[in-house]
Amino acid sequence: MAELEASPNPNPKPKKPTLCEECGSNPWKYRCPSCSRLTCSLPCVKSHKQHTSCTGKRNRTEFVPLSQFDDDRLFSDYNFLEETKRVMESAHRMLAEFREGFRFNKMPVRLRLLRNAAYRRRIRLMILPPGMSKREKNRSRYDQRFVCLYILDFLVCCVFIDFGILDSKK
């Protein structure tokens, strides 16, 4: 029996690293989901990300062999597909709202005439959405009888500075 106890194991298992792979002084506590690097603390995690340009996020689309596929992976895949579906539906809703908001036929006739007249004169006319105070104040209109555009509100960005101030006090 003494011989059996003393004989070395023919298939020794390789030892798993127990120390932090970044600093090498403390036992590891965290495993990077992206590259499986072992770290012990937040400074080591940040140092690892900086040195290796690692994102720290697991690649959700990487191949997983069937032997390693478990309930957690299935749940993660399901959540990924649900998130993809949610983003796609949100994009479709936003696109529909965008198209509806800028649909030419929904514009009042008065503004449609003004916009057409400006377009024919190669004027870039930007009309604010309903409810904006500048749109309420703006009285721009198109007179079909006289074929005239009346635009009452001009925005001019100028600064006048007078350098010739005389000081008559002595």
Q: Is the pTM of this model over 0.95?
A: no
What is the per-residue pLDDT for 170? 53
Indicate if the pLDDT at residue 58 is higher than 80: yes
Q: For the chain, give the percent of residues with pLDDT over 90.
A: 19
Backbone angles phi, psi at 39, to 5 degrees: -135, 165
In a domain, 94, yes or no: yes
**pLDDT tens column, 11-54:** 555 566 688 888 888 999 988 988 889 999 999 999 999 989 88
- For residues 139-143, average pLDDT: 77
Same structural domain, 119 and 139: yes
Return the amino acid letter for 56.
G
What is the per-residue pLDDT for 116? 86
Which CA distances in Å does 11 have to 1, 76, 103, 163? 20, 36, 74, 93
Question: Quick count: other Cβ atoms within 10 Å of Cβ 47?
Answer: 14
Same structural domain, 120 and 145: yes
Cβ 39 vs Cβ 20: under 8 Å: yes
- Given 101, 128, 158, the domain boundary residue is 101
Same structural domain, 30 and 51: yes
Same structural domain, 23 and 47: yes
In a domain, 119, yes or no: yes
- The residue range of the domain holding 78 is 66-101
Same structural domain, 72 and 43: no
Backbone angles phi, psi at 75, to 5 degrees: -65, -40
Return the amino acid letter for 115.
R
Helices (H) and strands (E) in the chain, counts: 5, 4
**pLDDT tens column, 74-114:** 998 999 999 999 999 998 888 776 665 555 557 788 888 88
DSSP label at residue 31: E
Which CA distances in Å does 39 have to 18, 52, 86, 137? 10, 13, 35, 63
- Helical ranges in the chain per DSSP H: 2-6, 42-52, 71-101, 109-120, 133-137
What is the per-residue pLDDT for 1? 47
- Number of folded domains that form the chain: 3
What is the per-residue pLDDT for 151? 61
